[in-house]
Amino acid sequence: MSALQPSAKLSCLGVPLESANVHVQRDKCRRHGEFVTHVLREQLHRAEFPVEMIGSSGGSGGYMEELLVVSGNVGVQVTYGVYMVFLNGVFLAGVNPLFFAVFLNLATAAVLLPFAVVFEMKKWPRNMSAKMLSKLCLLSLGGTLFQVLSLSGIKKASPAIASAMSNLAPGLIFIIAACVGFEKFDACCRYSRAKIVGTLLCLTGATTMCFLQSSTSSGPPHLPNNWLALFTKPLTVAKAMNNHDWMLGCLYLFAGVLVLSFNTVLQAATLVEFPAPLSLVITTNVVISFLIALLQIISQGKIDVGSSTMAIECIAGIVILAGVVIGICIAFQIWCIIKKGPVLVSIFSPIQTVTSLVVSAVILGKIISLESLAGMVLMFAGLYIVLWAKKNETFCLLDVGADLLLPAVEDVEKPLLS
């Protein structure tokens, strides 16, 4: 089909462009390189999208922002990987996972509250609509369900399998975001196709790496009688599990990742009306703490720290430290969702798996197999493909000839969330 036919349209918006306008804007593009920016501003204005959300990502400010997003997300996932190994040691020491989750969420909220008051008070909605309240309730319920399912899955399966399951999130989020219209997929756009290929490579590599590593490495046959045993035992406990518990644990973990994927997309929608990520974290964490405490009271009769031999002061210090670190990580991820969309944020999740395996190899003596290294290479190949596609992604024109060169524009998720 000719590039100048009247049926040409913006694929991501579906707004028809008149043939005469295409001729005019095509010439303008060739002279000044402003075709896409001009047309998008006009069409988004008609669709009542905020015009200030569309602009150039160039310049030092845009470069520094992208560098912050990439390096920050890598750091967040490395932190999560170390935290995974540490968390299992704490639980093995006898600390009740539900008790830990209750006070971890409260500690996170307490640490972030001063920052939310200083930086986000002006962004708080004056009137809380029923729609907003329903979104907050769904986010809190989803967060509660995710935490309970994840803790149960780690207990019945293993942290290695938990890391593998978490890498399913990018693919699930892409499907969910595309279904609800937050992530636009155009089969005619090479960047959309690249995102699919990269996501599949990333998921395949990370999952292969985890499952082959967990099935080929069982850790040292005799645990040393020191603090390393506290962290080694959770990583090798899968051999003692029967098939029923193993399958049930994997089911819990998969269900938790599915809930997390829905929550990630819902967060992106909620932050449009509630543009205060720290405040959103605080609100949901407080509600999640209440719900988990209620669950522990119903299931166990009281809020119990467990049978831990650790001093209560030590447990309190661990909770506060974890609350500070995890709270900052969550707030940063939510900020990235606003700037770049949920898919780009979640595509970094395989790094958590790499970190957990590397930490296990260095500290615990777990050797990373060649199969796992091959999976790691596949995972990073997929990661870089997706990042390349997200960097170069633009509003592709259907049925427009290859001779029409289009400049890049901002990431598509942000205006679509409006």
The domain locations on the chain are 56-416
Instruction: Round the average pLDDT of the chain to a whole number and report it.
Output: 69
Taking the complete model, does pTM exceed 0.75, yes or no?
Answer: no
Give the C-alpha separation, 407 to 238, whole Å.
Answer: 52
Cα 179-181-184 angle, rounded to 5 deg = 95
At residue 175, the 3 state secondary structure works out as helix
Average of per-residue pLDDT across 199-228 = 57
pLDDT of residue 8: 33
Return the higher-pLDDT residue of 16 and 58. 58
Q: Which amino acid is located at 264 in the chain? A: T
Return the higher-pLDDT residue of 236 and 329. 329
pLDDT of residue 228: 46
pLDDT of residue 368: 62
pLDDT tens column, 107-136: 888 888 888 888 888 888 888 788 888 888
pLDDT at 68 over 60: yes
Residues 6+ apart with CB under 8 A from 164: 206, 207, 209, 210, 211, 214, 353
pLDDT at 294 over 90: yes
Buried b (16+ CB within 10 A) or exposed e, 107-121: bbbbbbbeebeeebe
